[in-house]
């Protein structure tokens, strides 16, 4: 299990990049150990990330998964439902993505769309939203009873920091894809989302599937805190591994280097 450490603080209160990268590298090693344990024990893990636009869900998920196998840690970020999916039982499109033995499934937004964006933006009726809040605890308890380790995280960002992050997406060519018309509409309804969040917590923060809140105004600290907490909620051990030694490479024998005219890309760097 990882040791808890406090990072160095810069003059502006942020965690210094060098310290952040050192702590993240340490956590990455622990996630590799966790991955081996999950596969070895056949564990089923489901991690849900929710929060407002710009709260840091994607960055936290990327920090968690960049050094582990995508065949074990699967990220699910579903698009808007198709007309066929709209006619299905609401949870149906999510159930098909739940983990099998030896898998971790990470939902970048989840079935809680119904309690948040669908409710606030009018994509479902108020009756449908309230029905969801009644059913969700039973649904999640059935997952836990079936052996799934279910972790739910709400990334909590302040309104000033959210504004700063969304404005940063407007002119940054690397981030423009993150700013949609829906984001703009959602941004204007801050307190509608606050009310929806409060009702969601009241109805679905249960003993079998509690909500954990990550304060995310400071991205680096939020990522490290979230990853550390995830590791603390899944008991695991570092499995013994023998020292790996590369085998001797075969002799060339009668092989002759090819004179095929390979289409080599230009070396512009």
For the stretch 129-151, pLDDT in tens is 999 999 999 999 999 999 999 99
What pLDDT does residue 2 have?
46
Q: Which of 156, 146, 158 is nearest to 209 (CA)?
A: 146
Percent of the chain at pLDDT > 90 equals 85
Percent of the chain at pLDDT > 70 equals 95
Residue-wise pLDDT for 241-252, tens only, equals 899 999 999 999
Burial 69-84 (b: 16+ CB within 10 A, else e): eeebbebbeeeebeee
User: Is residue 202 in a domain?
Assistant: yes
DSSP 9: B
CATH number for the domain spanning 64: value is 3.40.50.300
Q: Give the mean pLDDT of 251-265.
A: 95
Which residues lie across from 150 on neighbouring strands? 46
User: Is residue 22 in a domain?
Assistant: no
What pLDDT does residue 6 have?
46
Residue-wise pLDDT for 193-216, tens only, equals 999 999 999 999 999 999 999 999
Q: Which residues, other chains included, contact 144 with Cβ-Cβ below 8 Å and sequence gap of 6+?
A: 150, 208, 209
Phi/psi for 120 (5° steps) reads -70, -40
User: Is residue 25 in a domain?
Assistant: no
Q: Which of 203, 198, 193 is nearest to 133 (CA)?
A: 203
Q: Put the strands of the sheet holding 44-51 in their side by side order.
A: 73-76, 103-108, 44-51, 148-156, 211-215
Residue-wise pLDDT for 52-97, tens only, equals 999 999 999 999 999 999 999 999 999 989 999 999 999 999 999 9
Look at 16-30, 163-177, 228-242 and tell me which has the smallest mean pLDDT: 163-177
- Count Cα neighbours of 206 within 13 Å in the Cβ-side half-sphere: 16
What pLDDT does residue 185 have?
81
Inter-CA distances, 63 with 75, 195, 228, 252, Å = 12, 30, 12, 42
Alpha carbons 196 and 132: distance in angstroms, whole number: 12
Q: Which of 64, 3, 11 is nearest to 34 (CA)?
A: 64
Is pLDDT at 179 greater than 50 in this prediction? yes
Alpha carbons 216 and 222: distance in angstroms, whole number: 5
106: containing domain: 43-216
> How many separate domains does the chain show?
1
User: Is residue 37 in a domain?
Assistant: no
Task: Note the Cα 159 to chain centre separation in Å.
Answer: 22
User: Is residue 64 in a domain?
Assistant: yes
What pLDDT does residue 4 have?
41
Alpha carbons 141 and 52: distance in angstroms, whole number: 25
User: Is residue 240 in a domain?
Assistant: no
User: Is residue 3 in a domain?
Assistant: no
User: Is residue 254 in a domain?
Assistant: no
């Amino acid at each position: 299990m990882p040791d808890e450490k406090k990072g160095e603080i810069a003059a502006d209160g942020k965690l210094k990049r060098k310290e952040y990268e050192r702590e993240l590298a340490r956590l990455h090693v622990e996630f590799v150990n966790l991955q081996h344990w999950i596969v070895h024990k056949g564990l089923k893990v489901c991690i849900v990330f929710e929060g407002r636009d710009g709260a840091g869900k994607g960055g936290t998920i990327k920090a968690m998964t960049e050094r582990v196998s995508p065949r074990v840690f699967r990220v699910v970020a579903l698009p808007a439902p198709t007309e066929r999916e709209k006619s299905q039982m609401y949870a149906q499109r999510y159930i098909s993505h739940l983990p099998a033995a030896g898998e971790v499934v990470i939902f970048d937004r989840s079935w809680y769309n119904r309690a948040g964006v669908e409710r606030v933006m009018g994509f479902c009726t108020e009756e449908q939203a309230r029905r969801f809040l009644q059913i969700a605890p039973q649904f999640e308890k059935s997952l836990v009873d079936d052996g799934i380790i279910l972790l739910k995280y709400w990334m909590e960002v302040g309104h000033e920091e959210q504004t700063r992050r969304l404005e940063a997406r407007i002119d940054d060519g690397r981030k423009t894809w993150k700013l949609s018309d829906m984001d703009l509409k959602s941004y204007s309804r801050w307190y509608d989302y606050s009310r929806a969040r409060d009702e969601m917590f009241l109805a679905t923060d249960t003993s079998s599937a509690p909500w954990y809140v990550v304060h995310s105004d400071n991205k680096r600290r939020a990522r490290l805190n979230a990853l550390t907490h995830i590791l603390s909620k899944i008991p695991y051990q570092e499995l013994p591994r023998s020292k790996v030694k590369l085998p001797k490479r075969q002799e060339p024998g009668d092989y002759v280097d090819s004179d095929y005219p390979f289409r080599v890309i230009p070396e512009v760097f």
